[in-house]
Structures are given as C-alpha cells and as structure tokens.
Amino acid sequence: MEAQWESDRVAVRTDSFKPLVVVDGVHTFPMKAVPLTQDRWEAFIPVPPDKDIVLYRYKFDFLDNHIGGPKPNSMLSRDFELRIK
C-alpha cells in the first residue's frame, strides 16, 4: 500500500504525521516514509491465502497548531478495495 498526503491546511504540523493502513475496519498497520520523496508513505499488509478481496483505508494521525499549543487530529481516506487474482 502506498499513500500521499496533499492538503492546503496550514495548521497541520507535517512533522507529526503517523500514517496507518486500516484493514477491514479493525486491523491497523503503520506506514513508513518512502525514501527520497516527500509526504509519501508505504506499508505491507498480510493477506491470508483464502482471501481475494481486502477492504482498506488510510488514516493520518497528526497535530494541528492551535493557540495554547498543538492539538491531536486525524483524517481518514475513502474506502478502497484490493482484489487479488
């Protein structure tokens, strides 16, 4: 899985990102920064041999700048479907 962050939100502290892949709504897998690129992450997820469809989405946990100090926030992507043939 690979994701890229694109936003015009100026309050987001981009150095605080903790991106995750959420599989089937319950299992989370941390993502790692893609070397030599900016704002892109990747993760490998286990897929059981008997599954041919995996439902997933991306979750970005981060801090927003606020008066009084940073506040935690997060955003979820739309749902995606991975088909294995």
Q: Specify the pLDDT at position 48.
A: 87
Structure tokens given for 29: 């897998």
Report how far residue 19's alpha carbon sits from residue 61's, in angstroms, rounded to the nearest whole number.
6
Q: Give residue 1's pLDDT band: very low, low, confident or very high (50, 70, 90).
A: low
Please state the pTM of the whole predicted model.
0.81
Number of Cβ within a 10 Å radius of residue 56:
19
* Range of the structural domain that residue 20 is part of: 2-83
Residue 82 to residues 7, 22, 50, 75: CA-CA distances in angstroms? 25, 13, 14, 21
Q: How confident is the model at residue 79 (pLDDT cuts 50, 70, 90)?
A: very high
At residue 37, the pLDDT reads: 81
pLDDT in tens, 14-61: 788 899 999 999 999 999 988 888 778 899 998 889 999 999 999 999
> How many distinct structural domains can be found in the chain?
1
In the three-class reduction of DSSP (H, G, I as helix; E, B as strand; rest coil), residue 62 is classed as strand
